[in-house]
Amino acid sequence: MEIDNPDYVRRFVGDADNIVRQSISAKNDLFSLAARYRPLQKITILADYEFVHHERENIAEWRLLPESTKSNTLKLSASFRPVNTLKIKVGTDYRFVNDPGSNIEPDYSNKTQFTTTYLPTTWLTAFLDYRRAKTVRDNTAFLNSEPDITVNSGRRETKNDKFFSSLSFLFSPESILTASFAHFRGEVEQNLAYGKWNSAGTGDMPYLDQEVIYVDRADSYALSLNFSPWGWMDVLTSVSYTESDGEFQAGISTAQTPVPLDSFSTLQVAETVYAVEISKTFPSKFVVGLRFLSILFDDKNDDTQDSRIYISTCTLKRHF
């Protein structure tokens, strides 16, 4: 990928020229292998390996950016059916990166997944999915503007957990009711650098806040009904409710005065969504759809953010 840009730009006639840094051009080389093994009729094992070499050009004006980044990714998964009504899938990914391109890109990451589908009867389906991810960056760095210096800020670690479950009830071939629940939790632990200016109005070395933890969570509940009342029309109604919150706690007193810095990042909101969708397919393969959406947003920290949104859309499409 090659990108060219002008050396200067000017907002208005007569203004001074503004220097534009040369855009970064990049080249990717990728090598991958995949294998599939079936030791038993009800067990399937998959393995994937991927190597990526990401090479950058024109990086002289982009400090802290390495000339190249190499990554190795290994994926393993297995699916099996202990009984005909139960399907289970497990998997894990490992990724190792040499010279990551940014602070949020890890040196090492690991993901695990567990998924199962259970059909105890012809009219009931249970689904469960759990995923966990962890990333580690051994050393992050910040650019300090004045004095112009690179500040090494230490380790960065993230953890994410996602859980989703649903129950689907098949009342008839034309109607199905689904209830679901989802949970998310994310955590970031890293050192932060706060800009610092001295009494003379010139720059100084930043304040470093060690091992700051940011956590956010979300729980979502949903109920949907899909049915075809006359056979030629499909109707989908749904309602969902989501609660989210997040916060971090600054660890040094400087970030607490005159106003606590972490107070600007506190999140506590609730969102309710009502939706109705109607679609009809004509013999000419045209499909006409109507969608009505109502969103209620409730900010627990600031009432000025509370709002209601109503959206109506009409679509026309044709299958060929």
Residues 269-278 pLDDT 10s: 999 999 999 9
CATH top-level class of 102-318: mainly beta
Number of Cβ within a 10 Å radius of residue 226: 16
Q: Identify the pLDDT of residue 259.
A: 76
Number of H helices, E strands in the chain: 0, 15
More confident residue, 288 or 146: 288
Q: Identify the pLDDT of residue 2.
A: 66
Which of the four pLDDT bands, split at 50, 70 and 90, describes residue 33?
Answer: very high
d(CA 81, CA 107): 36
- Could you tell me what percent of the chain has a pLDDT over 90? 58
Which region among 135-144, 165-174, 199-208, 259-268 has the lowest average model confidence (pLDDT)?
199-208
State which amino acid sits at residue 45.
I
DSSP state of 203: B
Mean pLDDT across the stretch 64-89? 94
pLDDT(30) > 70: yes
pLDDT(243) > 90: yes
Mean pLDDT across the stretch 299-315? 91
pTM to 2 decimals?
A: 0.84
Mean pLDDT for the chain?
Answer: 89
Mean pLDDT across the stretch 3-19? 72
Q: Identify the pLDDT of residue 293.
A: 96
Rg of the Cα atoms in the chain: 26
pLDDT(52) > 70: yes
Mean pLDDT across the stretch 202-226? 90
Q: Identify the pLDDT of residue 13.
A: 66
Name residue, tokens 């949104």. 309
By three-state DSSP, how is residue 132 classified? strand
Q: Identify the pLDDT of residue 285.
A: 81
Q: Under 8 Å CB-to-CB from 88, ≥6 apart: which residues?
A: 79, 80, 81, 82, 114, 115, 116
Task: Delimit the domains of the chain by residue range.
Answer: 1-72, 102-318
Which region among 10-24, 111-125, 299-313 has the lowest average model confidence (pLDDT)?
10-24
Which among 169, 300, 278, 176 has a CA at the least distance from the CA of 227? 176
Name residue, tokens 């040094």. 252
Which region among 36-40, 50-54, 198-202, 288-292 has the lowest average model confidence (pLDDT)?
198-202
Q: Identify the pLDDT of residue 202.
A: 73
Mean pLDDT across the stretch 208-214? 88
Which region among 29-43, 67-81, 141-155 has the lowest average model confidence (pLDDT)?
141-155
Which of the four pLDDT bands, split at 50, 70 and 90, describes residue 14?
Answer: low
How many CA atoms within 13 Å lie on the side-chain side of 269? 18
